[in-house]
Amino acid sequence: MARSALLNVMTQAATKAGRSLTRDFGEVQNLQVSMKGPADYVSAADRKAEEIVFQELSRARPEWGFLMEERGAVEGRDPEHRWIVDPLDGTTNFLHGIPHFAVSIALERAGEIVAGVVFNPATDELYTAERGGGAFSNDRRLRVAARGKLNDALIGCGAPFLGHGDHARFLYEARNIMANTAGIRRFGAASLDLVAVAAGRLDAFWEHALAPWDCAAGSIIVREAGGIVTALDGSRFDPIAGDIACGNEAIHKALLDQLKRADDAIRMTKTSAA
Q: Are 15 and 135 contained in the same domain?
A: yes
pLDDT of residue 34: 44
Measured between alpha carbons, how far is residue 274 from residues 42, 74, 263, 271 in Å? 46, 47, 17, 5
Measured between alpha carbons, how far is residue 158 from residues 30, 90, 165 in Å? 28, 11, 10
Under 8 Å between Cβ of 206 and 237:
no
Which residues are part of a known binding site? 69, 86, 88-89, 214
Q: Are 101 and 65 contained in the same domain?
A: yes
Last residue of a domain, one of 110, 141, 172: 141
Under 8 Å between Cβ of 27 and 41:
yes
Helices in the chain by DSSP H: which ranges?
5-29, 36-60, 91-95, 167-178, 190-198, 212-224, 249-273
Which residues are part of a known binding site for Mg(2+)? 69, 86, 88-89, 214
pLDDT of residue 97: 87
Of 23-27, 123-127, 128-132, which range is least confident? 23-27
Distance CA 194, CA 242 (A): 13
Closest to 185 measured CA to CA, from 163, 159, 209, 214: 159
pLDDT of residue 119: 98
Report how many domains make up the chain: 2
Q: Is the dihedral angle over the CA atoms 218, 158, 251, 144 positive or is it negative?
A: positive
pLDDT per residue as tens digits for the range 226-241: 999 999 999 999 999 9
CATH number of the domain within which 115 lies: 3.30.540.10
Distance CA 28, CA 38 (A): 6
pLDDT band for position 271 (cuts 50, 70, 90) = confident
Summary mean pLDDT of the chain: 93
How far from each other are the two terminal CA atoms of the chain, in whole angstroms?
Answer: 59
Q: Are 91 and 131 contained in the same domain?
A: yes
Q: Are 159 and 137 contained in the same domain?
A: no
Of 14-23, 35-44, 177-186, 233-242, which range is least confident? 35-44
pLDDT per residue as tens digits for the range 155-184: 999 999 988 899 999 999 999 999 999 999
Last residue of a domain, one of 141, 158, 185: 141
Asked if the model's pLDDT at residue 216 lies above 70, the reply is yes
Last residue of a domain, one of 113, 141, 169: 141
Q: Are 27 and 49 contained in the same domain?
A: yes
Sheet arrangement for strand 72-74:
72-74, 64-68, 78-89, 102-109, 112-120, 125-130, 135-137, 140-141
Q: Are 164 and 135 contained in the same domain?
A: no
Q: Are 105 and 189 contained in the same domain?
A: no
pLDDT of residue 33: 38
Asked if the model's pLDDT at residue 41 lies above 60, the reply is no
Phi, psi (deg, nearest 5) at residue 91:
-60, -40
CATH number of the domain within which 180 lies: 3.40.190.80
pLDDT per residue as tens digits for the range 234-265: 999 999 999 999 999 999 999 999 999 999 99
What is the dihedral angle through the alpha carbons of 72, 235, 219, 148, rounded to the nearest 10 degrees? 160
DSSP symbol at 120? E
Asked if the model's pLDDT at residue 42 lies above 80, the reply is no
